[in-house]
Amino acid sequence: MNVAAFVLLAAMLAAYVLLDGYDLGVGAVHLLFSRTDRGRAAAFAAIHPFWNGNEVFLIASGAALFALFPKAYAAAFSGFYLPLIIVLWLLMVRGMSIELRGHFESELWRGFWDVAFCIASALLAFVLGLAMGNLVRGVPFNGSGYFQGTFAFLLNGYALAVGALALLALSMHGAAFLWMRVDDELRESARRLTRFLWPLVAVAFIGVTAATVIAHPITGHPGLWIAPIAALVALASVAFAKKVALALAGSSVFLLALMASAAQTLFPHLLPAFPSGTGLDIYNAAPNAYSVGTAFTAALIGVSAALIYGTIAALRMMRAK
Amino acid sequence: MEGALIADRIQFAFTIMFHYLFPIGTMGLAPFIAFYTVKGVRRHDERAIAIARFWAKIFTINFAIGVVTGIPMEFQFGTNWAGFSARAGSVVGQTLAMEGVYAFFIESVFLGVFLYGRRRVSPTFYAFSAVAVWAGSWLSGFFIVATNAWMQHPVGYTIAKDGTIELRSVGAVLLSPFAWWQWAHVMTGALLAGAFVVAGVGAYWLLSRRHLEIAQRIVRAGVIVGICASVVAIFPTGDRNGAFVTRDQPAKLAAMEGLFNPERDAPLAIFGMPDTQHDVLIDPFYLPDLLSFLAYGDFRANVNGLSSYPRDERPPVELTYYAYHVMVGLGTIFLGIMALGVLLLFLHRLFEMRWMLWILMLAMPFPYVANEAGWMVTEVGRQPWIVYGLLRTTAGPSPNVVAGETIFTTIGFAGMYFLLGVLFLLLILREIARGPES
Ligand code: HDD
Ligand code: HEM
Ligand code: HEM
């Protein structure tokens, strides 16, 4: 049951990365994407109906972690105190810029929110990667199951590299999404951006994967190679895609494969200890089996239902552009 | 440790009270939007659709700010209250996770359909999505209130060997009568606020002689819903909440009523200032025997006072007492205003009585005050427990986060929320000035 709970949690986070990933990516690239107000407005319009629903995956994942593994939630959120609060502030700035930009015609007003949106989105993508990097690397637990993640500790080479990878990969994902959602010459601009980004993503990916494999050699089951190889194939499909559907599918599979690699490196830990020690895993951070089972069932039903009605609603809305 | 606790409490109180301002708006307006949308679609009533779409704009602004201020709440349990989360997360995490995967998804998906889908989906699906938004927001209110109700009156748990509180029965937590009555009272409070906003905006348009027909319709709706909600806020829901407090949290009751010593035929203090140095009420105005009756249905019943409890089990008296009197005092005034409104409505005089329209317009902020005051009673009166009777608030904070960090982030939140508040008012006032689409 605890393993199933881990998989569900990883899947919810992956869904978050996949979905909010494109609107974060749109934000990160949107100043590069177009210099005109029309183009930038089109970028906002492309994500406006979806961003809130996407962000619910973050809230739901956080809450699911809380219910399934309360001790890991408590340790991680208090340990990464300041970085998380900064994430919150960035999320607020981003939400404000998406919702408020359209309310006034003024050029100054829009220009302000354009830049705020871009900076907040890019930083968020980077910080999410940074957090992921530090999760895989481990955190310095004290004796009582808590730790203090100061910036001096968190800003290490490995985590910074994962942060860069996240920023680039989400930017590419966002560009591919724009490619699908906008028209005419804007479409061409999105396509060029996607083309421009993939080699950078490839470099970052190979670097990070090499560093990860050196630190956590892939031993045991050869099936563990599937995720990194799938990521490479997916990236190649973005590189050679003529059709937007293939590019978007490629970047989606790429992100999923990244999350899968991270999850399999982490398993069965939720928060490994650095440099060594026991840390928190899916057994010692979990309450009784009834509690885990209840949270698992509730989350599974809720998320599946949401995926079904969410997809139906999104398809109905997209049918008429 | 002590300093960190105070900083954490101030931050939590500030951020939750700010957050709660916006769910009041969404939960209070959602039923009106659903009503007008369904009516508009079924009767092909374009004006009803216009009303619904106007309130949907106000709703959306509330919703956006509700979301950006809600995410910090969810995070704060982990960042600032790790001790509480690690010990009680097995229960409170459940309801919060359910809120996420059930209510928030419904709300955001169908709000998207409602806002962007008017010309893309069928009218029936459009109307359905308006109702779904209402259901989602009230469901979200249910799960969060169920969380809070469990902290007020824990049920369905066991204590594990290492002292953590673990879930034993999710049914007991979700079906707790305490939670359902608290939910009913909270939803009533939100609906009451929504009714005052709807009536107040209508009154403003009538006073400035604009959008006359729509304004009359919404003043009528606001007043009718308002009288019902004012009654229900007092009886049965307010009364039932009081009964639960009397049974499960008697020390809170004593603080709410400013009753320092146990008394048979205890009087109800309508006015008076608590003096916690000498344990008396200054300048009290009492209604004899009434408290005994309200608490136990018997004028002769004995009511425990604060002195019946050890000092370290008493909540802060002043805040609890004043917050309670503000809520109940305002609740009585709301009933009066709405009763007058309905009377004038039936006499067909309401729309000409400019003084009454002024009252309706100026009353708009007060239900917000009453709602916030109610939460202060509930939360301050719960002290010194974070989970009543099980876990003290002193055990709640994160052991690895110091006061300096929390003070820093509180200042950050204060700046951010100030900006949000200004933008919110700006946008809302602009929408009200623009009025509905013709
Ligand atoms: C417009 C809003 C409003 C109005 C007019 C009232 N209330 Fe209220 N009250 C609330 C809004 C509210 C609230 C904000 O929704 C609270 C906070 C937590 C809760 O359960 O509901 C609350 C809490 C609350 C509590 C504390 C429950 C607890 O500690 O668990 C009691 C005893 C009452 N109320 C009783 C009353 C009575 C007797 C009223 C009669 C006039 C009344 N309320 C009017
Ligand atoms: C329904 C969900 C809620 C939950 C789970 C919740 C939980 C908490 C927690 C964990 C604390 C900090 C610990 C403590 O001081 O006891 C707290 C304090 C507080 N909360 Fe709530 N709260 C909820 C709703 C609200 C609302 C809506 C308001 C007001 C609008 C509110 C007002 C306060 C205040 C004023 C305090 C500080 C009390 C004090 O320190 O004396 N709460 N609450
Ligand atoms: C400590 C307690 C609270 C937490 C952790 C919390 C958490 C959240 C979160 C994460 C959101 C954003 C959801 C989204 O993206 O759609 C949100 C919005 C919302 N919250 Fe809270 N909240 C708290 C208190 C309350 C209370 C007391 C109520 C009402 C009784 C409430 C009602 C709502 C509603 C209806 C929304 C939807 C957005 C809106 O309508 O403004 N919340 N909350």
Minimum mean pLDDT among B38-47, B284-293, B336-345: which range? B284-293
CB B80 within 8 Å of CB B406: yes
pLDDT confidence of residue A48: 84
pLDDT bin (cut points 50, 70, 90) of residue A238 is confident
**For testing the chain A interface, which of B8, B74, B92, B109 should be mutated: the one with the most A CBs within 10 Å?**
B109
pLDDT confidence of residue B415: 94
Q: What are A4-61's pLDDT values in tens digits?
A: 888 888 889 888 988 888 888 888 888 887 778 888 888 888 888 888 888 888 999 9
Q: Is the pTM of this model over 0.90?
A: yes
Q: Measured between CB atoms, which of B85, B112, B158 is closest to A74?
A: B85
Q: To which residue do tokens 């996949």 refer?
A: A18
B187 CA: nearest ligand 3 atom: 30
Q: Determine contact: B216 vs chain A, CB below 8 A.
A: no
Q: What are B407-433's pLDDT values in tens digits?
A: 999 999 999 999 999 999 999 999 999
Contact partners, residue B365, CB within 8 Å, separation at least 6? none
Q: Measured between CB atoms, which of A66, A82, A146 is closest to B89?
A: A66
Q: What percent of chain B has pLDDT over 70?
A: 99
Distance from CA of B57 to the nearest CA of A (A): 11
Mean pLDDT value across residues B120-136: 92
Distance from CA of B427 to the nearest CA of A (A): 8
ipTM entry? 0.89
- Token readout for A2 is 């605890």
pLDDT confidence of residue A320: 56
Nearest to B260 by CA among B273, B241, B247: B273
Residue-level length of chain A? 321
Nearest to B165 by CA among A282, A75, A287: A287
Q: What are B133-167's pLDDT values in tens digits?
A: 999 999 999 999 999 999 999 999 988 888 899 99
Helix or strand run (H / E) with residue B207 = helix B177-207
From residue B416, alpha-carbon distances to A93, A114, B421 in Å are: 9, 18, 9
What's the burial of B236, exposed, middle or buried (CB within 10 Å: 0-12/13-18/19+)? Answer: middle
Nearest to B401 by CA among B19, B84, B73, B20: B84
Minimal-distance CA residue to ligand 2 atom 6? B148
Cβ A302–B105 below 8 Å, yes or no?
Answer: yes
- Token readout for B52 is 């619904």
Say which amino acid occupies B92. V
Contact partners, residue B236, CB within 8 Å, separation at least 6? none
CB B279 within 8 Å of CB B333: no
Q: Please tell me which residue, A296 or B359, carries the higher pLDDT value.
A: B359
pLDDT confidence of residue B213: 92
Helix or strand run (H / E) with residue B221 = helix B212-232
Minimal-distance CA residue to ligand 3 atom 36? B23
Q: Please list every residue in chain B whose beta carbon sits closer than 8 Å to the beta carbon of residue A299.
A: 97, 101
Nearest to A114 by CA among A100, A132, A124: A100
Given a cut of 70, is residue A274 above it in pLDDT? yes
pLDDT bin (cut points 50, 70, 90) of residue A220 is low
Q: Which residues pair with A139 in a beta bridge?
A: A273
Q: What are A111-168's pLDDT values in tens digits?
A: 888 899 899 999 999 999 998 888 888 888 887 778 887 887 788 888 898 888 888 8
Query: Rounded to an integer, what distance in angstroms lies between the CA atom of residue B437 and that of residue B248?
Result: 51
- Token readout for B328 is 């109940």
Q: What are B29-85's pLDDT values in tens digits?
A: 999 999 999 999 999 999 999 999 999 999 999 999 999 899 999 999 999 999 999
pLDDT confidence of residue A321: 47
Nearest to B34 by CA among B194, B200, B209: B194
CB B103 within 8 Å of CB B183: no
From residue A107, alpha-carbon distances to A28, A104, B158, B420 in Å are: 20, 9, 59, 21
B376 CA: nearest ligand 2 atom: 35
Gyration radius from chain A CA atoms: 20
Which chain A residue lies closest to B110 (C-alpha atoms)? A313
The backbone torsions φ and ψ at residue B269, rounded to the nearest 5 degrees and listed phi first, read -85, 115
